[in-house]
Amino acid sequence: MIDISHQQDQFEVVPTLVQPTLVEVLKSRVKADMAKEAQLPEVQTLSIDHMLQARLASFDPESDDVEAENAFYVADLGEVYRQHLRWKALLPRIEPFFAMKCNPDPMVMRLLASLGAGFDCASKNEIQSVLEMGVNPSRIIYANPCKQNSFVKYAYQNKVRMMTFDNAEELHKIKRFHPEAQLVLRILTDDSKSLCKLGLKFGAPLDTTAYLLATAQELGLDVIGVSFHVGSGCFDANAFGEAVIRARRVFDQAKDYGFTFNFLDVGGGFPSAHVTEGITFEKVAAILGSTVDALFGPEVRVIAEPGRYYVGSAFTLATQVIARRTIARDLSEVLTSEQSQNPSHMYYINDGMYGSFNCIMFDHQVCEPQVLLKAGEYAYQQETMDPLGLASVWGPTCDSIDCISPKASLPLMEAGDWLYFENMGAYTITAASQFNGFRKSEILYTTTEQEVSLHF
Ligand SMILES: *Cc1c(COP(=O)(O)O)cnc(C)c1O
């Protein structure tokens, strides 16, 4: 029998408080932490503006505090909460399982756990960190179609039952190490309308699903439904509708192999809140919600694996200009128009491609620097009156690939000034390295929402 009942967490979240504050919710989650090492970092209740300003004001360039000039993030947990509310309002039928690889920040994870979200994990360590927060294993989907043997054993030992597959070899592995798994067949969908295409690596083409279902039937494995991923950074909302139609076909096919599917996982690929042109979450929700309702009865449980959606807009990164190089030109010569359009200043900042800005390479992002502090003047979200020049912006390492912006329009900055980058929450810190001895940027927390509702 398939048991997909919604099991309770191993503890109740702040049962006595009717309308707790977001900070209280986090505190009670930390208390329940089974790793017991966890400490709640300070969570302020200031605006992002005030957070940035307070941190810069406390920084004295003459002091001996060598850490204070490092780049830092301001994370707004209230923004994560608002995204959750938006999800619940627009896709009430679809349960979000946060794809933690996108940003496994401990505060973000705890907030989402408290709000009742599930988690999409891809490795033993990811599963372990979710279980240690006191989350019930039924709220985890192990959504990696190609798993290491020992990780499958770990899932078995820890009662994580839902997992995806897309090939027959994986079925044999699961038969051996986790015969009671609740399997979800990941199918291939059209990912041509996405920045990060995942179909090259994962997803069973529809002409292979019959064979896979037959194999699962022979092995006596329990397949409960279908999953897909339209690709990360999807820019065409129709991709979701088409993928659901494909999933329906596999649901019908499964009956021939003795399976009654009752589980649909519509994956990730949902746009972050700062995306307001082209694809928006509203458009995706309208197409996805209606297609799911049209093709799947209420007996089918529907989940999704949003990553970027939850965190993209919640993190702002502040970096210091650590050096400037002026590109020498022979001023006696009249510049050709091409030369005059080339950047004449190179700015070096203290986070880069090997750190937070790995998203430029791995996630195909374009990161726009904005002036945060110039000549002691605070400039967050202010239009500059200074003339703009073309410049390039570079990270701190010794590698020339470490370029953040080859052509940025900036006023003349000095070493010691600060730049900031918005919408840096998705696929940034999570993949940052310490290459060349530079450490990951620290995170300061605030929440722009005070009270939260835990009942939806
Ligand atoms: C990366 C990934 C996600 C999250 O994708 P987003 O585009 O960030 O929403 C979800 N599911 C799977 C299986 C993934 O690999």
Taking only the tens place, the pLDDT of each residue in 189-209 is 988 889 888 888 999 999 999
Question: Quick one: pLDDT at residue 36?
Answer: 61
Final residue belonging to a domain, choices 285, 311, 337: 311
360 and 248 fall within a common domain: no
**Among 120, 270, 284, residue to substitute to test ligand 1 (most atoms within 8 Å of Cβ):** 120
Q: Is 359 a catalytic residue?
A: no
Residue 387 Cα distances to 390, 405, 409, 411, angstroms: 10, 19, 10, 6
- Tell which atom from ligand 1 comes closest to the C-alpha of 102: 8
CATH number of the domain bearing residue 368: 2.40.37.10
CA of 354 to the centre of ligand 1 (A): 22
Task: Tell me: do 207 and 321 sit in the same domain.
Answer: no
pLDDT tens, residue by residue, 90-112: 999 999 999 999 999 999 999 99
- Do residue 114 and residue 195 come from a single domain? yes
Q: How far, rounded to the nearest angstrom, does the alpha carbon of residue 59 sit from its chain's CA centroid? A: 30
Is this model's pTM higher than 0.75 or not? Answer: yes
* Token pair recorded at residue 39: 């400490």
Residue 19 domain-assigned (yes or no): no
Tell me which of 311, 342, 361 is where a domain ends: 311
Residue 34 is assigned to a structural domain of this protein: no
Report how far ligand 1's centroid is from the alpha carbon of 163 (Å): 14
Domain containing 209 equals 77-311
d(CA 18, CA 138): 26
Q: Tell me how far the alpha carbon of residue 232 lies from the centroid of ligand 1, in angstroms.
A: 6
Ligand 1 pocket at CB < 6 A: 99, 101-102, 120, 143, 229, 232, 267-270, 305-309
Ligand 1 atom at minimum distance from 143 CA:
13
Confidence at 338, pLDDT banded by 50, 70, 90: low
Strands (E) across 51-156 are located at: 72-76, 94-99, 118-121, 140-142
Is the per-residue pLDDT at 258 higher than 60?
yes
Last residue of a domain, one of 311, 335, 367: 311
